[in-house]
Every structure is written in C-alpha cells, then in structure tokens.
Structure 1
Amino acid sequence: MTAARIPWSDGRWTTAPAEARQDGDALLVTAVEGSDAWRTTAYGFVHDTEHALLAPLEPGTAMEVVFTGDFSAEFDQAGMFVRVDEENWTKAGVEFADGALQLGAVVTHRFSDWSVAPVPDWAGQSLTVRISRDGDAIVVRARAGEEPFRLVRIAHLDPAAAAEAGPMVCAPSRAGLTVCFVSWTRGPADASIH
C-alpha cells in the first residue's frame, strides 16, 4: 500500500469548528474559542470540545497531516487526534505554551498526561505530524519543513480497538485561530520504531 490522500469529506468532526472551508486542496479550519481536549489530571476539568476530523485508523496503517498556522496565543494547538472513545485518545502536534511553540503529545487513558519540548524555530514553517499504528502501539513523529522526522511519543493502543484519527485544532484561550491543513494522507505503518 502506498500513501494516498484522504478526502476532507471522508472525515467526521468530533466537534464542529467555527468554520471549515476548502481552498483548493487545502482545508482552512477556524477554531471556536475555548475548544480543547483534556481529562482531569492536575487541572481538575474535562474538556471534550476539540475540532478533530476523523477517519478510521486501522492496524498496520499510518496517517499524516501537513499544516501551517499562526500559533501565538496561550495553548493554540494543532496536529493529529487519535480517538477510541471519550476516555481513550491521544492528541499530538504543536502547542503554544509558556511563551514558546512546543512539540508534544497528550495521551489519555481515563486521565490525561502531557509532554512537551520547545521548538521555537518551527514557528511559521510547514509542519507534519505522523501517527503509525502497529501491534499494541501508536508511534508519533513530527517534523518542520523537510527535516528528518523526530520521535515524539510511543503510546499504548489496544490492538483490538476501533480507532479513528485525523487533523485536529483547538484554541482554549482565544477566538480566530485558523489552521491551514495542506494534506491528509494514509499509508502503511512505519517499518520500525527507531
């Protein structure tokens, strides 16, 4: 199987964004102020209002999204979302936090966790997030431009679970965040973890 483009119309929104419109092959998505995904840990709240456009993520496959955006307000974020149900999901990509663009992931199995690392030099660049599903794991990789992919996270995913994945955007602290998703593709899972 070679990588193939997924039509935007093949996805379903977890929560409808303020606006989603095609511009040529790209999809421009504007987030609703206050949108986010989190469950309980440290903050004590549950947010289940992310804008994620999802299609099936079968075992043995990978998905990639390429996007650009002006991430400049606290917790502006975009990337990919993998969902099994409301208590089991992963989001991965970039997020503006503590004054800098960060690369990271939130993995949730009833309770969310969060890991980030600063990538200030990624600001303003074309970004790619890739999720590969094989066995009992998903492997998250990301890159800016054409640089080599960086390993972001390895997380558990029940091999029997029906999972969906696709592009995601959230704007917890402001209105007006628009992300341009350039492409959404599906192909074979990565041959190795490293």
Structure 2
Amino acid sequence: MPSSTQWQTLNGATAPSDDSSFTITAPTDTDIWRRSDTDDVFTAPILYRTLPSQKFKSLTVTIFAPWKTQYDQGGLILAFPNPSNPTPPENTKGLKWLKAGIEFFSNACVLGVVGTDRYSDWSISPMKAEFHQKATFRVVREGEGLWVYAKQEGGEGELGPVWVGVYAAKPKKDEGIGGEENGEKGLEVTFSDLELEVEE
C-alpha cells in the first residue's frame, strides 16, 4: 500500500498507517446508493486517492468482515466527480460511481457490483457458503471501460479525475433491542493487500 499521506478520507473514515491491513468502521445509517435525484446517498466512510483517470490502471483489495445485518457491505469504489471541482464533500451529489464488494442480502453474503449514473443498478452473485466472509476484488481499466473481477477465498483522451479507494457501509441497525451491542458500534470491515497501479 502506498504511503498513507497519499490517501484522503471522507465521511468519518480514518487514514491508515503504512501497514498492509487496515479497518474502516461504518456507522449505522451509512450507504452509497441512488434511487433518484432526491434519494441520493453518499454517506459511507471512504478512503480514496484523486488521480487523473487516464492514469488509473487497476485497483485490487481483499475484504473481510463479520457480515450479519441486511445490506452490510464493503469493497472497492471508483467515483467520478466534476472535473472542475473534484474535492469532496461539496461535490458528492450526482457523482457517477462504481462499487464492487461483499454485501449481506437475504441472510447470505453475495458478491455485488453497483454502477451508478442517473440511478444505481445493482448486480449480485451468490458466494460459496464456506467462504462467505472474504473475497478479493479487482477493477481494471481497459480503454474507456472498466472490468470488475471477484475471487472468493480457497479511450485514452483527457478525462476528468477519478476517486479510487475502498468503503464500508451499514444502512440498517442490527435486529433486536437497540444499544451499542446491536448496531450502534458499527460494522468493522478489514481490508488487506490494497494495491493501486497507475500509469507513469
């Protein structure tokens, strides 16, 4: 992982040290999702770097968490801010973005990819039950397109900037009686072996 001074944080994420493993804690009621112009949520804690999109080649990370509540999630994110004002948080509404990671859905972990332009389009794939808590994701730029790869355990013109990083979210409280032990503490998602490859 590159020096922590190169990474920025958003929505309460904490910059890691130079260690190969770090954690982002997602409080309850955080998400990255867009149903419409008026239902546009970008509140999940994020660790990211801003770089010219034509320099981005790939982003890979292995994620693990004790997923247990509907929509618990964590993974990679690429967001495309307005080139004239790429600095958050003022510029998160209306972002185009892609996220890929593990999400807890209908009492099971799934591999999920969400692409968002005007609204979010969610695709999921089941995970093997014996390896349901951990997976490695890789987003690769090929020309003007992006390919997303997931593995369980066992145009090149002048484009605007792209945020590339990782995120964690917890849209709902744990079921049961309220309190810190039931969702107020947040979901701790552990990331390891984060690698960013860029054009020189």
Q: Same fold (TM over 0.5)?
A: yes
Given candidates 54, 60, 63, the residue that maps to 1:64 is 60
* Cα distance in 2 for residues equivalent to 1:117 and 1:173: 21
Stretches of structure 1 lacking an aligned partner (at least 5 in a row): 147-155, 190-194
Stretches of structure 2 lacking an aligned partner (at least 5 in a row): 82-91, 174-182
- CA contact 2:57–2:198 (8 Å) conserved in 1: yes
- CA contact 1:22–1:28 (8 Å) conserved in 2: no
Aligned sequence identity (%): 25
* TM-score scaled by length of structure 2: 0.75
Given candidates 25, 30, 48, the residue that maps to 1:35 is 30
User: Structure 1: which 4+ aligned runs deviate by more than 6 Å?
Assistant: none
Deviates more, 1:57-66 or 1:70-79: 57-66
Given candidates 43, 52, 59, the residue that maps to 2:46 is 52
- CA contact 2:70–2:172 (8 Å) conserved in 1: yes
* Cα distance in 1 for residues equivalent to 2:158 and 2:97: 14
Relative to 1, partners in 2 of residues 1:136 and 1:88: Cα closer, same or farther, differing over 3 Å?
same
Provide the residue aligned with 1:123 in structure 2.
132
* Cα distance in 2 for residues equivalent to 1:9 and 1:23: 9
Query: Per-residue deviation at 1:53?
Result: 0.9
Given candidates 82, 86, 106, the residue that maps to 2:114 is 106
When Rg is computed on C-alpha atoms for both structures, the one with the higher figure is: 2
Relative to 1, partners in 2 of residues 1:23 and 1:133: Cα closer, same or farther, differing over 3 Å?
closer
* Cα distance in 1 for residues equivalent to 2:18 and 2:170: 21
- CA contact 1:137–1:159 (8 Å) conserved in 2: no
* Cα distance in 2 for residues equivalent to 1:74 and 1:16: 22
Secondary structure of the structure 2 residue equivalent to 1:34: coil
Provide the residue aligned with 2:74 in structure 1.
78
Query: Per-residue deviation at 1:115?
Result: 0.9
**Residue type of the partner of 1:47?**
V
**Residue type of the partner of 1:123?**
H
Q: How big is the alpha-carbon RMSD for the aligned residues of Structure 1 and Structure 2?
A: 2.8
- Equivalenced residue count is 173
- CA contact 1:65–1:166 (8 Å) conserved in 2: no
* Cα distance in 2 for residues equivalent to 1:47 and 1:82: 15
* Cα distance in 1 for residues equivalent to 2:65 and 2:158: 33
